[in-house]
A and B are shown apart, each in its own frame.
Chain A
Amino acid sequence: MKELDPLIHSQLRLAILSLLMSVEEADFMYLKDKTGATTGNLSVQITKLAEACYISVTKTFNGKRPRTTCRMTDKGRAAFAEYIAELQQLIAPAVAESTDCGNAADLCLT
């Protein structure tokens, strides 16, 4: 079984990618608000994801305020889909086991 992508398999990076997966683009403040991360930590993780080309980062201005917008790249989407598939493979035996246990418990009860 393949190992989970270490770049995605971290709480904050996974949260960022999950948010970006379901939107077209999101700005830094939105990601900060939804993940509850600190500015510094979020900035570091975004840079890591951008360096791996999983997300693209655009810096613009909203009036006088700088605005950082992130969006998922095709490479990021593919990596995320692969991560989910691997996660499913990891969880499948545990689900099957719990179902077996559930059936056994039903038999005991009857």
Chain B
Amino acid sequence: MRPDESLDIIARMMAQTRRSVLGGAYLPLLVWGWVTVAVGMAVYFSVVLTADPRHYLLWFLIPPLGLAGMRLFRRGRHVAVRTALTAPLHSIWWMLTAVLLSFSVTSYFVSFNVLFFVLLLLAIGCYVTGALVKYPFLQYSSVAGFVLSASMWLVTDERRILLFVAAIFAMMIIPAYKMKKDFNHERA
């Protein structure tokens, strides 16, 4: 084997790892993104159509639905590889989830603009994930989250839920589909 052949093998195998990272990153964004959008729309229609004051309880459907979705879509595939990014990414998203949940619970007792903080934290999470997996599109799309989180202070009625849903769509669902497309394209 010539030295240039060795280098070629090393480069090809390293590229395979990058593909694996992309393959592992898009599913959580897709599942949690769609679940959040679906629940967000349910909350919005509940506010508009029923005006039931308990409509905000619907937000708490996100964790069980998200976990069920992840379980469903990961069924049959076990994690074949752990990269150096796996642990930091898990750690960041678990920490964000804990903070988001505590904000959501606190908002029942203390009135504050919870959607602003939720969106801001999710945008930070997406930006950091994009930086770690070296996927600039995810970083750029998270800017939509930062911008729309500011709009949570400007829009005070139920339309802010629609803005929240739009932000989730832009910073989680669209990049996840692009990631999936890139992953399948590179694999082919």
User: A89 to chain B: closest CB distance in Å?
Assistant: 9
> Contacts of B13 on A, CB cut-off 8 Å?
15, 18-19, 22, 34-35
| Nearest opposing residue in chain B for A67, CB measure | B78
Interface residues on B, range: 20 to 34
Cβ–Cβ contact A22 & B9, under 8 A: no
> Contacts of A35 on B, CB cut-off 8 Å?
13
A18's partner among B9, B20, B81, B87 (CB-CB below 8 A) is B9
A33 to B12, CA, bound (A): 13
Cβ–Cβ contact A11 & B9, under 8 A: yes
Q: Is the C-beta of B14 less than 8 angstroms from some C-beta in chain A?
A: yes
User: B3 to chain A: closest CB distance in Å?
Assistant: 5
Cβ–Cβ contact B14 & A18, under 8 A: yes
Interface residues on A, range: 20 to 34
> Contacts of B84 on A, CB cut-off 8 Å?
23-24
User: B15 to chain A: closest CB distance in Å?
Assistant: 10
Cβ–Cβ contact B7 & A15, under 8 A: no
Q: Is the C-beta of B106 less than 8 angstroms from some C-beta in chain A?
A: no
Tell me whether chain B's interface is mostly helix, strand or loop, or mixed.
Answer: helix
A11 to B84, CA, bound (A): 24
User: A49 to chain B: closest CB distance in Å?
Assistant: 14
User: B22 to chain A: closest CB distance in Å?
Assistant: 14
Interface centre among A9, A18, A21, A84, by most chain B C-beta atoms within 10 angstroms, is A18
A91 to B7, CA, bound (A): 10
A62 to B87, CA, bound (A): 20
For window 105-155 of chain B, which residues contact chain A by CB distance below 8 Å? none
How would residues 76 to 96 of chain A score, 1 for a CB under 8 Å from any chain B CB and 0 otherwise?
000000001001001100100
Residues of A whose CB lies within 8 Å of any CB of B are 4, 9-11, 14-15, 18-19, 21-27, 29-30, 33-35, 62, 67, 84, 87, 90-91, 94
Residues of B whose CB lies within 8 Å of any CB of A are 1, 3-7, 9-10, 12-14, 16-17, 20, 78, 80-84, 86-87
